[in-house]
A = this chain, B = another copy of it.
Amino acid sequence: MTGRRQDLGASFARLTRAMIDAETPILAARGVGMWEYVVLSALEDGAAPTQAELAATVRRDKTRLIPILDALEGRGLLSRTPDPADRRNRVVALTEPGRAVLAACRAGVRAMEDEFLAAVPAAERRIFTTVLEQLADRTSR
């Protein structure tokens, strides 16, 4: 890898900023903030058994997560249900409207991503995204 010029960290950071800048208006057009989108996404595959666990998943301080959840629940996009097995806990889950909003956001984000990657040949694109996801999955959250 002696030919590599830029640090991985610098490239990732730069692309993160670019993605955030690109995603923000897409989400805003659907009435969703970035943290809200992150939370909705985290619930896509299934409910979080506790708010604390959701906070850890999205790496957002549990106390600062409250207003985000308040807002989303207030809009009917997610529900917080006391867990009968342990009433200290509240199970957090997407509602149908929440799923619909998330799907709309996701569609916009996907379109943006596809456009962003359009200049990369298909075979390389496939390798890039596969390796990217593998690397990301290997990092602790």
Q: What 0/1 pattern do residues 106 to 125 of A give for CB contact below 8 A with B?
A: 10011001101101100011
CB-defined contacts of A140 to chain B, threshold 8 Å: 18
A134 on the B face (CB < 8 A): yes
Chain A interface mostly helix, strand, loop or mixed? helix
A103 on the B face (CB < 8 A): no
Q: Interface with B: A7-15, A46-54, A60-68, A90-98, which one?
A: A7-15
With beta carbons under 8 angstroms apart, the residue of B4, B13, B19 that contacts A8 is B19
Q: Complex: how many Å from CA A9 to CA B133?
A: 11
CB-defined contacts of A131 to chain B, threshold 8 Å: 120, 124-125, 127-128
Interface residue tally on A, bucketed by range: 35 or more
With A8-B15, A9-B19, A113-B8 known as contacts, the answer to whether A120 contacts B134 (CB < 8 A) is: yes
Number of this chain's copies in the assembly equals: 2
Q: Complex: how many Å from CA A62 to CA B113?
A: 32
Whole-angstrom distance from the CB of A45 to the nearest CB of chain B? 9
Q: Which residue of B lies closest to A15 (CB)?
A: B12
Whole-angstrom distance from the CB of A91 to the nearest CB of chain B? 23
Q: Sample 6 A-B pairs with CB under 8 A, ordered by A number.
A: A6-B136, A8-B113, A11-B135, A13-B20, A127-B131, A128-B131
